[in-house]
Amino acid sequence: MNKKEKFFSVMKKVGTGAQKFSKNYLNYTVILAVMLVFTIFALATPMKDSTALLFQKITVAVILAVSLNFVVGFLGELSLGHAGFMAVGAFLGGKLSTILVNALGANSTNIFILILSLVLGAVCAAVCGVVVGFAALRLRGDYLAIVTLAFGEIVRVVFINSSYDNAINKINATKLPEFIKNFFAKILELLDFGGALGLQSPSFPKKKMYILVIIGFLLILFTLFVIQNILKSKTGRAITAIRDNEIAAKAMGIDVTKHKLMVFVISAAFAGMAGVLFSYANKPVSASSFGYNYSIEILIMVVLGGMGSINGSIISASLITILNEFLSKKLTGDNAIYKDLFYAVILILVIIYNNAPALKNLREKLNLKNLVGKLFNKIFKRKPNPSSVASDAARWDVVPTKIEMNEVLSTDVVIDYTGENSADIDERGGSDNGKEN
Amino acid sequence: MDLLTIIINGLSIGGIYAMIALGYTMVYGIAKMLNFAHGDIIMVGAYTVVLLFTTSPTVGIISALVLCVLVGIIVEKAAYRPLRGASPLAVLITAIGVSKLLQSAAQIFIGSEPKGLTLNLGEIRLGSLHISVLTLLTILISVAVMAGLTLFVKYTKMGRAMVAVSEDRGAAQLMGINVNSVITVTFIIGSALAALAGVFLLFKSQSVDSTFGAMPGIKAFAAAVIGGIGSIPGAMVGGVVLGFIEAIFAATPLRDYVDAIEFAILIIVLLVKPTGILGKKRREKV
Amino acid sequence: MAKKIKAPKHVPHKRENIESEYVLETRNLGISFGGLKAVQDVNLKIKKNQVYGLIGPNGAGKTTVFNLLTGVYQPTTGSFYLNGEDLTGLSQEKINRKGFARTFQNIRLFNNMTVVRNVMVGLSNQPEYKCTLFESIFRLPRHFIAERKMRKRAKELLDIFGLLDERNNLACNLPYGKQRKLEIARALATNPKLLLLDEPAAGMNPNETEDLVNTIKYICENFDMTILLIEHDMKFVSGLCDQITVLNFGTVLAEGDTKEALNNPEVIKAYIGG
């Protein structure tokens, strides 16, 4: 073996190793690194409050986007109620921490209480996930999207009207016996989420915000750990099989009910945790922050990052949050609305560019991955790898095809998705992909 | 509030919802897409009326109709048509984008302050009952519109072409129906109905801002689904059902929760009878 | 005597096992949609290791029979048994786990997944690859053992069908003939006792068809498999099947040995018309 060949074989080994590593551990490593750098900076120098708050928002956004992508990108069901799950977590987790902090006279930065309320928020959101998941068993496509939207609105309306004062006045106005009134008053105290004014949950003081950010980073790692490991197991294969063809999945003995419920529950639980984090950073927690608009904002992150791409969601959630912060600083007052206009235009253009049948040729011409691949092959004189050409994974946000319009009403009309939307999902991110012998 | 008032209120709210729901249901049946921006067309209509009403009410209402139809056509051609044949999820997300675009554009052009308009056409007294003329007008016009639309779909060539396209787009195309123009006409009718609904909603709520149409839009979609999406009588039934629910609960202490109740009913209807009250069930062929 | 015709009310079937020497036995299996009797009184008896054909003109109800047997539709009359075990009324996934696996007339692969993953989906329910979700999330040893075993088995199956080289391609990028084969491989992965093939040779050229005949024979011998198949290609049917049932308008027109049944004048009339 001459020197040059040896060099290339070593390079190849390094390359394959790097590929494997990047497939399995890259996102953990990057997030861990960012977290460490952040911690060092936070401890070494007094950090600006706004910087810590920005990072806090990023951690919440990433958890939300990744968990929503689990439903939209991998199970293939559109959920427009993610903010609703988050609200459940924020209010119920926030309520628990309020009660505990008051009862124990503890500090609002008490980590133990934070963990307890994270657990409670996750569990409560998961219970709501079961409810919506049951809807997902009977409905598909737009119908399910509307049910999730309705769920989010119900949650918002319930919390926005959950004020103790209002309700107690109504009860006092009735002619019930005194002890029943007292009983109701006790219950209402427990169910008081502040109504339109919002819940006065304990929150981290600005100087201590960095601790919440670190906890947020740890939660991101936990989210990734759970969701990615599920996706890279037989359960994950079953979930994507349901997305690709539910009828065939059933015929292969896959329990569609169990898997759909599971995905909704897990996704909701993580959204609930994100909600608890949110409640610790914002005081008061107001129900109007969790409207349908917020669900759409999370959906935009998922779409722009690429459905079925976890890393894409992480990147786009971070970038969009940063961009939001930047734009809201630049555009003050009435100009702030240009931000919304900007996102709306970008969203429409990106979707049309990536999905319009007429633009297929243009897309292939401008495909970043193909260009990079060609360049790479030119440099290393490699033969093009047929499977990588086939995968065409750089079309990162072409939408999976599960959602068939009119699915409930459909007869045998076959909607033709030939090739167009097929070769794009981050399916190959699984452990059994890439090169193996 | 007595029963008769509730009935009349329910009918007038229901009429407005039905008009919006008709737009949703027709677009859904024919273009097979959920036009999320439909609610914001209502907002466009309401704004136009507010801005031009002082010049002349007739000019205001007519230009609202024209502008809404124009916006409908432009949105369909620019945003939805390029995506015909693409994944429905992509179309749905684009529609969400269009909805945001219209809302923010309205804020930029007109400002974020709500605009108000009060109109009082007096009221009719029947014994102890006071009914505002506006409410009566709403009911009458929505009934007329629905009757007209039903006749249009049943007896005109274009109407029958619409039914054909909604049944089977491919077959309709093979029969020589120009699917593109059918879809455009659908959007025109839908937008015109939205404009009318916008006018009446405006007179009812007396003020308009950029998210004016969002909630009625979503609720009307709920009405269309409750009635059975894709079905024109279904949209009317659904609209009236929702109107009555709203009118009934507005008279009880639960009035703050009326949105939640309506959505809960939507979820229950979908779970019990996913095709809605008047929808047809079809099976997927294996 | 004129009787008032009542729409048959659907009575939930009470499952009762029977003594049966057949792998598949159906008794008066039928279904009606509304008033239309799509399939009625189908009595199939398929012995072990048999390749059994189900033929008939278009719209005869062949695929409906498949849908009944795999739980897509619930039969309105009759019942069916796998080795004497009553499977009537079970859900699709349960029927599959009991031992029926099928392919589809219009191919239904998991298009956005790789070929090897398609087969691995079929393997998920086998007891030898058992590992819980908890074990998968926390990457306990059993997860890795199960994954390794599954991949090995999937590759073996793909090798039989000559798909091993394509294993890392997306299923939708396979040519048509290979997609059909992958569907069969995926069905075999669920370790069925009866394999139901819905027009396996549709759209194949003569070479591919011949290849398929050999593969099916191979499966029968090496997997100890019983096969029920729908096909229009008469050469294919007479080359493979020892017995057939001919359906027409949802009823059995003829059944028995392939040659005899095909030469039945009724059958010829149904196919040629007249």
As a whole number of angstroms, the distance between CA A319 and CA C92 comes to 44
In a domain, C94, yes or no: yes
Place of tokens 């004048």: C265
Residue C2 pLDDT class (50, 70, 90 cuts)? very low
Name the residue of chain B whose CA is nearest to C105's CA. Answer: B286
* Same domain flag for C115 and C163: yes
Counting the structural domains of chain A, the total is 1
pLDDT attached to residue A328: 82
* Residues with Cβ within 8 Å of residue A374, at least 6 apart in sequence: none
- pLDDT tens digits for B90-136? 888 899 899 989 999 998 888 878 888 877 777 788 777 778 888 88
The structure tokens listed for B275 are 């095709």
| Cβ contact, residue pair C114, A433, below 8 Å | yes
Q: Which residues of C226-247 are buried (b: 16+ CB within 10 A; e: fewer)?
A: bbbbbbebeebbeebbebbbbb
The amino acid at residue C257 is D
Q: Of B185, B187, B164, B188, whose CA–CA distance to B176 is shortest?
A: B164
Say how many CA atoms lie within 13 Å of B15 toward its Cβ: 24
Does A434 contact C at CB distance below 8 Å? yes
Q: Is A119 exposed, middle or buried (0-12, 13-18, 19+ CB in 10 A)?
A: middle
pLDDT attached to residue A222: 97
Domain boundary among C158, C191, C224: C191
As a whole number of angstroms, the distance between CA B5 and CA B27 comes to 33
Q: What is the mean pLDDT of chain B?
A: 87
The amino acid at residue B97 is G
Give the three-class secondary structure for B242. Answer: helix
Does A180 contact B at CB distance below 8 Å? no
Name the residue of chain A whose CA is nearest to C142's CA. Answer: A233
Name the residue of chain C whose CA is nearest to B284's CA. Answer: C72
* Same domain flag for C235 and C255: yes
Q: Of B87, B74, B64, whose CA–CA distance to B197 is shortest?
A: B64
Say how many CA atoms lie within 13 Å of B74 toward its Cβ: 10
Q: Is the dihedral of CA B180, B182, B184, B190 positive or negative?
A: negative
Counting the structural domains of chain B, the total is 1
Distances A410 to A306, A405, B225, C106 between C-alpha atoms, Å:
28, 8, 15, 16
| Other C-beta atoms lying within 10 Å of the C-beta of residue C187 | 24
pLDDT attached to residue A1: 58
As a whole number of angstroms, the distance between CA B77 and CA B92 comes to 15
As a whole number of angstroms, the distance between CA C212 and CA C235 comes to 13
The structure tokens listed for B146 are 């629905």
Higher pLDDT, A199 or B2: A199
pLDDT attached to residue C94: 93
Beta bridge partners of C32: C37
In a domain, A435, yes or no: no
As a whole number of angstroms, the distance between CA A162 and CA A179 comes to 22
Domain boundary among C191, C212, C232: C191
Higher pLDDT, B3 or A402: B3
As a whole number of angstroms, the distance between CA C136 and CA C147 comes to 10
As a whole number, mean pLDDT of residues B42-68 equals 91
- pLDDT tens digits for A76-88? 888 999 999 999 9
Residues in A touching C173 (Cβ below 8 Å): 390, 422-423
pLDDT attached to residue C9: 55
Residue B48 pLDDT class (50, 70, 90 cuts)? very high
In a domain, B286, yes or no: no
Residue B241 pLDDT class (50, 70, 90 cuts)? very high
* Same domain flag for C178 and C253: no
Counting the structural domains of chain C, the total is 2
Q: Is A156 exposed, middle or buried (0-12, 13-18, 19+ CB in 10 A)?
A: buried
pLDDT attached to residue A120: 96
pLDDT attached to residue A108: 81
Name the residue of chain B whose CA is nearest to A72's CA. Answer: B89
Q: Which of B39-48, B62-71, B200-209 has the lowest mean pLDDT?
A: B200-209
pLDDT attached to residue B186: 94
In a domain, B277, yes or no: no
| Cβ contact, residue pair A151, B94, below 8 Å | no
Q: Is A395 exposed, middle or buried (0-12, 13-18, 19+ CB in 10 A)?
A: buried
pLDDT attached to residue A378: 67
| Other C-beta atoms lying within 10 Å of the C-beta of residue A134 | 17
Of B34, B87, B100, Cβ closest to residue A355: B87
| Cβ contact, residue pair B282, A410, below 8 Å | yes
- Provide the residue range defining the domain that includes A301: 3-429
Q: Of A172, A196, A201, whose CA–CA distance to A185 is shortest?
A: A172
In a domain, C9, yes or no: no
Portion 204-263 of C in contact with A at CB < 8 A: none
* Residues with Cβ within 8 Å of residue A209, at least 6 apart in sequence: A49, A52, A53, A56, A281
The structure tokens listed for C248 are 């027409």
* Same domain flag for C28 and C144: no
pLDDT attached to residue C85: 92
- Provide the residue range defining the domain that includes B177: 3-110+119-272
**ipTM of this predicted complex?**
0.90
pLDDT attached to residue A398: 37
CA distance A190 to chain B (A): 19
pLDDT attached to residue A413: 28
Domain boundary among C191, C221, C237: C191
Q: In sequence order, what DSSP letters do the residues of C36-96 get, joined into one string?
A: EEEEEEE--EE-TT-EEEEE-STTSSHHHHHHHHTTSS--SEEEEEETTEE-TT--HHHHH
Contact A307, A40 (CB under 8 A): no
As a whole number of angstroms, the distance between CA C101 and CA C96 comes to 6
As a whole number of angstroms, the distance between CA A50 and CA A61 comes to 16
The yes-or-no verdict on residue C196 having pLDDT over 70 is yes
- pLDDT tens digits for C3-62? 445 555 556 678 888 888 899 999 999 998 878 888 999 999 999 999 999 998 888 889
- Percent of residues in chain B assigned helix, strand, coil, to nearest 5: 75, 5, 20
Contact B107, B44 (CB under 8 A): no
pLDDT attached to residue A182: 82
- Provide the residue range defining the domain that includes C185: 111-191
CATH number of the domain to which C217 belongs: 3.40.50.300
- pLDDT tens digits for C84-134? 999 998 999 999 999 999 999 889 999 989 999 999 999 998 888 988 999
Q: Kindly report the CA angle at A265 between A260 and A268, in degrees rounded to 5?
A: 125
CATH number of the domain to which B58 belongs: 1.10.3470
* Same domain flag for C220 and C251: yes
* Same domain flag for C28 and C141: no
In a domain, C128, yes or no: yes
Does A426 contact C at CB distance below 8 Å? no
Q: Give the number of A-B residue pairs with CB atoms closer than 8 Å.
A: 176
Residue B1 pLDDT class (50, 70, 90 cuts)? low
Q: In sequence order, what DSSP letters do the residues of A94-129 get, joined into one string?
A: HHHHHHHHHHHT--TT-HHHHHHHHHHHHHHHHHHH
In a domain, C104, yes or no: no
Beta bridge partners of C251: C248
Below-70 pLDDT ranges, chain A: 1, 368-370, 373, 376-437
As a whole number of angstroms, the distance between CA C38 and CA B153 comes to 34
Does C249 contact B at CB distance below 8 Å? no
Q: Which residues of B45-81 are buried (b: 16+ CB within 10 A; e: fewer)?
A: bbbbbbbbbeeeeeebbebbbebbbebbeebbeebbb
* Same domain flag for C80 and C200: yes
